[in-house]
Amino acid sequence: MTAGPRLSEEVATALAEGRPVVALETTLVSHGFSGGRGLAAALESEKRVRAAGAIPATVGILDGQIRVGLDRGSIERLAAAGAAARKVGARDIAACVVQGATGATTVGGTLAICAMAGIAFLATGGIGGVHRGFARTLDISADLLQVARTRAVVVCSGAKSILDVPATAELLETLSVPVLGWRTRTLPLFCSASGGPPASAVVGKPAEAAAVAGAHWAVVPSGGLILARPPDDGIEIEDLIGEAVRQVREAGITGQAVTPAVLARVEELSGGRSVAVNQELIAGNAALAARVAVAWAEQGEGPAGPAG
């Protein structure tokens, strides 16, 4: 049995020709939204990646097969499965494959597959991070460690403010992960642009971001970078997030279920306002990731990915 990823023809060809490819995760599709909005976010992201001149590679595991470059029907399947799809981080891939299961990959899981496929650009809404109350629960997303050990640029709007964002920024520093602010000096708080901890550097052009990535890979060949883009139209929902985190804790929810549960509560408490921002973020980050991937390809430094 082989656990190798199956690439779509389009993605395989693009990678072979050194053309820009952007990976997209699917946990947000299955677990991140209610009512089919995860599917809309996924399809819009793909569209934006293409519009910016790159090839989207949506990643997931279908019936035990790791797939890179999902077709629409497969993305629809993951969306329809919802919570029935496994939430797959890097540690969960092996069991999901061997057991023939269907799984939606987190940022960390998607990055692990990017390393296998040779893709070096990924977009999402917000990465996982250090959870509030981590000293008691030790709940720290595996996304952070996977970013630290994967040669890739992860474009996001920071870590969700459902997390302890200053602690998340500290851990990223500990892990030597550059946190590049996209035209901002601070790490965005997902729904809101301001109030976060400082970025480690500011970049203002896709080519600059690509150049910093290349220079970083000369220093840390197998390490990742975060490129953090603030929301275009942020909203202030800090109080409500605190309330959502409290409710989830009181309900006794732990482990992998925490992030989806908090997201669902935030969606409810904000009367859906968080969802509109979330969808816009994901699509905007996909577009930016594509621009950076295009700039990388234009710099002609060759394949960026680990398999290249």
Contact residue for ligand PSU among 5, 7, 20, 27 (CB under 6 A): 27
Site string for Mn ion, 216-255 (x = CB under 5 A): ----------------------------------------
- Distance of closest approach, residue 19 Cβ to ligand PSU, in angstroms: 26
Instruction: Write out the two tokens for 107.
Output: 């940022």
What pairs with residue 227 in β-bridges?
155, 180
Closer Cβ to ligand PSU, 28 or 304, answer by number: 28
Q: Does 118 bind ligand PSU (CB under 6 A)?
A: no
Q: Which does 106 bind (CB under 5 to 8 A by kind): ligand PSU, Mn ion, none?
A: ligand PSU
Q: Are strands 21-24 and 121-123 parallel, antiparallel or unpaired?
A: parallel
Q: Does 25 bind ligand PSU (CB under 6 A)?
A: yes
Q: Does 46 bind Mn ion (CB under 5 A)?
A: no
Q: Tell me whether residue 25 is one of the annotated catalytic residues.
A: yes
Q: Does 279 bind ligand PSU (CB under 6 A)?
A: no
Which letter, b or e, does each residue of 269-282 get, where b requires 16 or more Cβ atoms within 10 Å of its Cβ?
bbeeebbebbbbbb
Please give the Cα distance from 178 to 190 (Å, whole number). 18
Site string for Mn ion, 123-162 (x = CB under 5 A): ----------------x-----------------------
Please give the Cα distance from 28 to 279 (Å, whole number). 10
Q: Which residues contact 209 (CB under 8 A, 6 or more apart)?
A: 153, 180, 182, 203, 227, 292, 295
* Residues known to be catalytic: 25, 160
